[in-house]
Structures are given as structure tokens and as C-alpha cells.
Structure 1
Amino acid sequence: MAGRTVVLIDGENIDATLGSSLFGRRPHPEERPRWERVTEYLEAHWHQPVLGLFFLNASSGVLPAQFVQALLAMKYRPIPLSGRDDEKVVDIGIQRTMDTLLDRDDDVVLLSHDGDFAPHLERLAHGERRVAVVALREFLSTQIAQLGVELLDLEDDVRAFNAPLPRVRIIQLDDFDPAAVLR
């Protein structure tokens, strides 16, 4: 077992999923995940220290200083990447990090719904390390969902939000509470 969990956050993807799939607009700050809850949850879940890497697209040449300060205060390591307009800098940065992790013993958790990471996750999952994906399950790429890695729901498992999200999802019959839908 590894002695550390490396958390790779594709914040653009999480934000885009919340905005386009749930809210139909850019999420307000209070509708975004409480990022400190992610690392706290994962530290308790796998009983080891967590290194949180938050990938940012800084191709505009502007660094979101307030957000970077907030990430640092939550003990995340911001990774502001810049590149050409035709490059998905956040995806490429996360993929390169995943490739580097192949030669290390760290456990790995990805926060993204993006199927572009499936081949990298699959390679990481071969071996002794633990690999998980944190996402909103109903928006997760089927390529990732079929890998057999641990899947954790950002709202239900991690409890990263302050208020319930307006989600429609499959309910296990044993968990169905008719009183809840009759409110």
C-alpha cells in the first residue's frame, strides 16, 4: 500500500459539468464544491496523507490570484498551465502527471468526468495502487465508468456541497423514500 494519495483536480471539467448540465449557467461560488472537503474525505477514506493538485488554465496570462490564495490556504498545490489556443492544457497537464505516477507507488484520485483520461486511469489501475474517480456519477464518461476503478460521488459520498444539487439520478429501490418525493 502506498503512503500517500495524489488528487488530480480538473476544475474546468467540474465547473463546466455543474454549469452546463445542472444549472444552465456559470455556477455561483456557493454552488461550487468545497474543495477542502475533498482532501479531508480522501484522507479519512484511505487513511493516509493527501497531496491535492488543482490544475488551472492560465493561457490567458492572468492568474486568478484570489482563487490561487484560497487553494493554497486549503493546502492544495495550484498548477497554473499555459499553452496554445488549440491545446487542452489542463487535460495534458493531468495526463502527463498520471504518466509520471506510473513509476511511483502513490494512490491516485481523479476529479473529472472526462473520458480523455480513461487510458491513463486504466494504466494506473494495473498494479497494487488504489485508483478512484470522484465525479457526479450520472455525468461520468462511460469509458471511465467501465474501468472498474473505485467511483465516488462528489455530492453523495464526499459531501462537497453546502446545498443539494438539482440532480435527477437513479435511485436503488431499497433507498427509495416516497415521503421525500411527496414534499
Structure 2
Amino acid sequence: MTERTTYLLVDGENIDATLGVSILDRRPEPHERPRWNKVLTFAEEAWQQPVKGLFFLAVTHELPASFVQALIAMGYRPVPLSGEGKIVDIAIQRTAEALVHRDADVMLVSHDRDFAPQMERLAEDEERRVGLVGFGEFMAGDLREVDGIEFFDLEYDVAAFTSRLPRVRVIPIDEFDPLEFL
């Protein structure tokens, strides 16, 4: 019997856009972006099994060689794509559909509702773990409604950032620290 694997499907553009438009209200600086190595490590530790990280990239002109090399060094397999339309979404959807036929677990790093049908289909297999990583307050409602999906906050659960983000979130009273507001 082979060891079970988690496939970590990263929609980096979606995370970057959400971070820039919805949280920072500007383009993120390199030091404000997620530490992608922490996301990979988190996935391994959360489900206690090997992770195959696939990082999907849209490439319009030249391959971003330094970023691709960094991803490879961290243990990701970059998936550089070219073409018209939402090519990253199409590739992730096709990958998720292909994973339906594999005995593997899946974590998606995105907020995009376009992936809800594939995540629902993956979650139908009660033996499969299906997870979603992102900013909870920006997660598409269609993704939240998938039965059996596990949610992990990119900042609070994964600890993928080196400094606290300026987020507005509902705070459970047990976590409330008035000093954060004074």
C-alpha cells in the first residue's frame, strides 16, 4: 500500500489579488506576501502526510525565473501557463477533476468560487480530506457551503506572514485582547 498524499493546489494570483485589493488596498510588497514554504509545511503537518505542492502561474511574456527557482527550492512544482482567459482557473479545475480518480487528499489555496463544483465533487468521497486555505472573510460562499471541507486561515492557522495584516475580522471573545485596540 502506498502512502497517501495531499495535493496542495495554489492559486497564487487569487491570494495576491485578495491581499492587495481587499486587505492592503495596494500592491503587496515582497515582504508582505505569504511565505509559501510555510504553507507547504503547514499542509504536511496538518494532515500528517506527504504533500505535493503545485503552484499555478499565468505567464504572459517571460517565465519569472527567480520566482520559479524559489518555488522549486521550497519543494513546489511550478505550473507555468500561457493562453487566453482564466488559464490558472482552468488548469486548477482540470487538476481537481483529475484528482477525483486518485486516492489522495486535496487542499486548495484560493478564495475563488469557480472551484466550488470541483471541490464538491472531491468532497463526495468520504475517505478523502478536502481543505481550503485563504482569508476566511473573503472566502466565496459557494466554497464555504461544500460539505466536509476543512478551512484554514492563511494568516491565523498557517502563520504564512512575517507580520500581522491589517484585517478586520470577527473575534471570538476568548481570543479578544483589548491591547490590540489601545
5 Å-filtered alignment, 1:126-145, equals: 126-127=124-125, 128-145=127-144
| Structure 1 residues not aligned, in runs of 5+ | none
Deviation at 1:122, TM superposition (A): 0.3
Deviation at 1:61, TM superposition (A): 2.8
* Identical aligned residues as a percent: 56
Deviation at 1:172, TM superposition (A): 1.1
Give the structure 2 partner of residue 90 of structure 1: 88
CA RMSD of aligned residues (A): 1.2
Letter in 2 for 1:72: I
Q: Deviations over 1:93-147 (max 9, x none)?
A: 0000000000001100000000010111000001110000000000110111121
User: More displaced, 91-100 or 61-70?
Assistant: 61-70
Give the structure 1 partner of residue 55 of structure 2: 54
Counterpart of 1:27 in 2: which secondary structure? coil
Q: What is the CA–CA distance in structure 1 between the aligned matches of 2:63 and 2:82, rounded to whole Å?
A: 10
| Structure 2 residues not aligned, in runs of 5+ | none
Letter in 2 for 1:172: P
Q: Deviations over 1:27-72 (max 9, x none)?
A: 00000000000111110111100000000001x1311011001001
5 Å-filtered alignment, 1:1-183, equals: 3-58=4-59, 60-84=60-84, 87-127=85-125, 128-148=127-147, 149-182=149-182
Instruction: Name segments (4+ residues, structure 1) moved above 4 Å.
Output: none
Deviation at 1:169, TM superposition (A): 0.2
Return the TM-score normalized by structure 2. 0.95
Letter in 2 for 1:48: Q
Letter in 1 for 2:144: A
Q: What is the CA–CA distance in structure 1 between the aligned matches of 2:140 and 2:3, rounded to whole Å?
A: 27
Q: How many residues of Structure 1 are paired with residues of Structure 2 in the alignment?
A: 179
Q: What is the CA–CA distance in structure 1 between the aligned matches of 2:35 and 2:174, rounded to whole Å?
A: 29
Letter in 2 for 1:119: P
